[in-house]
Amino acid sequence: MKHLTTTNLAGAPKRALALLLGICSAGHVSAEGTLAGTDISNTADVSYEIGGTAVNQSSNTVTITVAEVIDVAVVLQSPQVAVSAGDTNEALIFTLTNTGNAEEAFSLLVDNADTGDDFDPVAAIPNLFFDTDASGDLSVGDEAYVPGSNDPLLAADASVVVIVVNDIPVGLSNGDVGRSALIATALTGAGAPGTIFAGQGTGGVDAVVGSSGGSASAIGEYIVSDVAIAIDKSAVVVDLLGGDQPVPGATINYTITFEVSGTGTATALVFRDPIPANTTYIPGSLTFNGQPLTDQQDADAGEFEAGVIPPAVTVQVGDLDAAAGLQTVRFSVLID
């Protein structure tokens, strides 16, 4: 016995809407499924035999309509941003994603008044931008956010990169942390999950506040990470008679120690010390943290630059932070 295949009258295809506003797609936040306004219709078919005759007929059709869920997610993209006191226009990068199931506009707000941090960043003017040129950071072409004028309108699942820009106050200490939060709120409405905005959803369906409460925020951090390097140089003279007189023929043994303090990292640090006038570098005398270094420019970090005036010893130290501790360079010269 043959059966009719049944009608399947579901309306809009799943997640059909792509992106609005020239926006990147959502990365790690998933939206809430079937688009608002979708009608899901159902008709059952029945087939049977009665009195030897095969009969097919359909049931009534029942239709349910998917209401709008208002949901939003804000995710911080920047790692902790290292700053110095008095810096201006320091950017924090966020993504705002419409995790609801309908197009929705959002208002944006920055809150710098966190009480759990060491300082309050000062909002730049303007302090909110869209990453219009998709550079991933604040740049000249980025459009400033104007509340009520260009509130981001996002399709379900779509997201937009938002840049929060702050200045850093003066008078801060190393390691001080300042927090800045981006808050996005659905324009249709926010409130306790389950709050209904009757008829205010896309296409006139009800809009219901989802688990986010229709508002989301994320907090970015600045850390004051100044770097200071302390250097100490000492010299010991050994003359030919075993004394310590700086006379011709005597050797001067130099010891230079340096270390980094502060929360930052001194990058690509190079130690360089000119050989004093009227002295001659003693070949092969250069050491770094007790390890001998050759005088040639080669695989090791040290070099004696004989061809420059005055000649100098250099050590390519590289990146150095406070945890590395005291560094020691030694070399010797002969008094001419």
Enumerate binding residues for other proteins (CB under 8 A). Answer: 1, 3-10, 13-14, 32-34, 38, 40-51, 55, 57-67, 69, 101, 205-206, 208
Q: Are 41 and 173 within 8 A, CB to CB?
A: no
Nearest to other proteins of 40, 153 (CB atom): 40
Nearest residue (CB) to other proteins, 63 versus 173? 63
Which of residues 39 and 244 has its CB atom nearest to other proteins in the complex? 39
> What's the CA gap between 317 and 328, in Å, rounded?
11
Closest to other proteins by CB, 11 or 169: 11
Long-range interactions of 244-250: CB distance < 8 A, separation 24+: 246/335, 247/335, 248/335, 248/336, 249/334, 249/335, 250/334, 250/335
What does the alpha-carbon distance between residue 328 and residue 232 come to, in Å, rounded to a whole number? 10
Between residues 51 and 148, which has the closer beta carbon with respect to other proteins? 51
Q: How far is the CB of 207 from other proteins (least distance, A)?
A: 10
Q: Which is nearer to other proteins, 50 or 277 (CB)?
A: 50
CB of 220 to other proteins, least distance (A): 31
Please report how close the Cβ of residue 55 comes to other proteins at its closest, in angstroms: 6
d(CA 336, CA 304): 18
Q: Residue 300 Cβ, how far from other proteins at the closest point, in Å?
A: 52
We find the least distance from the C-beta atom of residue 41 to other proteins, in angstroms, to be: 7
CA angle 84, 87, 91 (to 5 degrees): 100
Q: How far is the CB of 18 from other proteins (least distance, A)?
A: 18
Q: Could you tell me where the beta strands, DSSP code E, fall in 118-264?
A: 122-130, 143-144, 153-154, 159-167, 177-186, 196-197, 207-209, 215-224, 227-238, 251-262
Backbone angles phi, psi at 15, to 5 degrees: 45, 45
CB 239 within 8 A of CB 250: yes
Closer residue to other proteins (CB): 8 or 234: 8
Tokens of 294: 């050759």
Closest separation between CB of residue 35 and other proteins, Å?
Answer: 9
- Cβ of 179: how many Cβ atoms within 10 Å? 20
Rounded least distance, CB 200 to other proteins, Å: 13
Token digits for 266?
């001194």
- The total of other beta-carbon atoms located within 10 Å of residue 174's CB is 17
Element (H, E) at 105: strand 104-111
Q: Which is nearer to other proteins, 51 or 171 (CB)?
A: 51
Q: Which is nearer to other proteins, 64 or 308 (CB)?
A: 64
* Whether residue 126 has a cis bond before it, omega within 30° of 0: yes
Amino acid at 98: N
Residue 26 CB, nearest approach to other proteins (Å): 16
Q: Which residues of 204-217 are buried (b: 16+ CB within 10 A; e: fewer)?
A: ebebbbbebbbbbb
